[in-house]
Amino acid sequence: MLEHAGSDVGDLTVAVIGAKGTVGRLAVHELLPHFGEMNLVGSERSGVSPLVDVAAEVLLDLSFGDDMEEISSNMFSPASACSKLVELLRAPEGSNVNIRQGLKENKGAHLLKMSQLAAEQFGAVIPIKFTTNVLDVAKETDCVFSATRDGKAFVKKGAFGLGKTFVWDVARPFDFVMGDEESEDGVTVYEGGMVRQPGKAMFGDTNIAHHPAGVSLACLSETIALCMEGVDRDYSLGTKIPYKEAKEVHKICKKHGVDYYSATACDQK
């Protein structure tokens, strides 16, 4: 996603639909240190509270971990939402220790309280929004990462009004309605969740989702790569996969020749 969006994403806004889920949470972790603003979208069933907790947990892990007395400036872009949130929290509290303790004990509640306090006192803009309706943030979104477990398409491309919006839909079935006649020009939906394996294996006569030989689902390819590595432990279990573990799996996959697959526009298939 970052490769397609370009290097200067500090001026862009990204939305993560399904941010509370396993994949969505990892996406927040990966994208928060780069994009200038972030919109987290969840379901009406769960509300926004879990989304705020996700943001707090990611921020704690990225910036205020137990082994980090000082923020590492080279971890993320100065123009990123992550950097802005760190500055918002430091303004009223000052000490990293206080911030760390507050985020650990009260998670999202502390993040909201301190960021809103900083915004009121210093006029700062909070670079992250939380909603259960994608329409609330669609018009201000440049890039979208969608990974819900709804099991059906429910987002129309026409909801996005910017001249050029890129969408990465990793859900199965897709979250976005394909062939949407209401779609605005410049809104392109790419199929995520696919990788290129080192061989030209076919899974069935038409391969998975009619992709070329050697292209397969990332989850299946992860299992293959872990077997090739000869690991003797479990990976990717549960709803809160540690980001460090996900990066470790990524490293193993790269080692064994599993690589990114050039995204295909879903509506051009």
Closest to 48 in 3D by CA, of 116, 117, 105, 133: 133
Q: Which CATH superfamily is domain 2-191 in?
A: NAD(P)-binding Rossmann-like Domain (3.40.50.720)
In the chain, where does the domain assigned CATH 3.40.50.720 lie? Answer: 2-191
- 242 contact partners, CB below 8 Å, separation of at least 6: none
pTM of the model: 0.88
Cβ pair 173, 246 in contact under 8 A: no
Q: 72 pLDDT exceeds 50?
A: no
Closest to 85 in 3D by CA, of 47, 48, 51, 119: 119
What's the rounded mean pLDDT across residues 43-56?
93
In whole angstroms, what is the distance from residue 133 CA to residue 149 CA?
A: 16
State residue 180's pLDDT score: 53
**What pLDDT, in 10s, does the model give residues 213-253?**
999 999 999 999 999 999 999 988 888 899 999 999 999 99
**What pLDDT, in 10s, does the model give residues 183-205?**
556 788 888 889 999 888 888 88
172 or 101, which is more confident?
Answer: 172
State residue 74's pLDDT score: 47
**What pLDDT, in 10s, does the model give residues 51-63?**
999 999 998 888 7
